[in-house]
Amino acid sequence: MPDFAQRGPITTLHDLGTVEIGQLEAELRDAVRRNPIGLVLPITASDMRAQPFANITQKLGEADYVDTVTVVLNRADSPEDYREAVRLTAPMGDKVQILWTDGPRGQDALNDLLEAGFTVSRPGKGRAVWFAFGHLLADTQLKAFVLQDGDIVGYDNEMLIRLALPMAHPGMDFDFCKAFYARCTDRMHGRVVRLLVVPFVRALITVLGSDPYLVFLRSFRYPLAGEFAITSTLARSNRIPCDWGLEVGTLSEVFRNTSPKRVCQVDIARLYEHKHQPLSLGDPSKGLMKMASDILRSIVRTLASRGMVLSNGHFISLRSAYLRLAQDAIRQYHADSLMNGLQYDRHSEEQAIEGFAELITQTGQAVSDDPSGEPALPTWTRVMTAFPEFPQRLRDIVRLDREEYAG
């Protein structure tokens, strides 16, 4: 039975298996003539040398419906890393632009922002994406930006087509499009979504009521998907978190800056696989425990910014409600795994939710001690008010780095 379900205020775009991908590709190719798109690929030196990235660049070389591909090279501080990036991205042809944030010119631009009082010192994926958006904003013809990860195993351009089409098609009117997919191989993955975010949001609604922001979060099938598309206008207005709360923080900014009616989620792949983080129960400063902590704090601080007051009693109730809902979810996932011939380690899943439950209590104290948390990256509207030519400067950095280091 095909799934037509539309749950919550956002629009869900299903893959019902009723259309050939070539038809969607032709529609996208026609749409981008009027609404061109730019693609963002953030990579580190280690990611680009892994096999998935080589496959991605080969596939994207065939994607003639993408106007510009901004490859943000970060956590790479040697010219050899840059030259390797040039070599590996060559299959994408002239449309690829390598923005080397750790190079001398990139660091000079960063230092100028820091001296002007902008909070941009923390490296990571969030800052890489932020820089890429600034680079793309120099091209006023681009209607939307699409973000994809550079470590997708088994990548196919169908993922890009399905993510980009809702933003470019003249018959659709969306400001933001979020990807969703099934994270599974011989077992279920996506533990932070399955075992933390979904039951925690449900627990918040149980304890606090159906706040519109919580209903919005609950509407997403995979809220931590790293892939999304956004209009250039919204990209200028959104603040981007620079910690593990990037994905849920982006959703919070989208909720704040546009109507949920102009938000959609799209099924981009039957199965999706990329590298996995260790759970790291023994060290909450690493792995999935660090990710979970940042996500919880991001959600709670967003609720506080909406005027919601959470006491210690609320967090005790939230922990109890979360544990009950997460334990019910484990029973469901176990049964689903049995029906689909998947491996399922119920004991490790139980250990995960116990660790996540402890983080809920700690989150209450952490947010009480530091209500604001680490500031998000500034909006590009603010940056361009102080430095109107900064996006063009990023374009110049791309050109000059290639001339100097790639010959």
Task: Determine phi and psi for 219, rounding to 5 degrees.
Answer: -70, -20
Q: Mind listing the pLDDT tens digit for each residue in 207-256?
A: 999 999 999 999 999 999 989 999 999 999 999 987 777 899 999 999 99
pLDDT in tens, the chain (407 residues): 457 889 899 999 999 999 999 999 999 999 999 999 999 999 999 999 999 999 999 999 999 999 999 999 999 989 999 999 999 999 999 999 999 999 999 999 999 999 999 999 989 899 999 999 999 999 999 999 999 999 898 899 999 999 999 999 999 999 999 999 988 889 999 999 999 999 999 999 999 999 999 999 999 999 999 899 999 999 999 999 877 778 999 999 999 999 999 999 999 987 777 667 788 888 877 889 999 999 999 999 999 999 999 999 999 999 999 999 999 999 999 999 999 999 999 999 999 999 999 999 999 999 988 888 888 899 999 999 999 999 999 999 999 999 999 86
CATH topology of domain 1-172+377-406: Spore Coat Polysaccharide Biosynthesis Protein SpsA; Chain A (3.90.550)
66's CB contacts (< 8 A; 6+ apart) are 32, 37, 38, 39, 60, 95, 146, 160, 164
Hey, where are the domains in the chain?
1-172+377-406
Order the strands of the 96-100 sheet from edge to edge. 11-13, 263-269, 176-181, 228-231, 144-147, 37-44, 68-74, 96-100
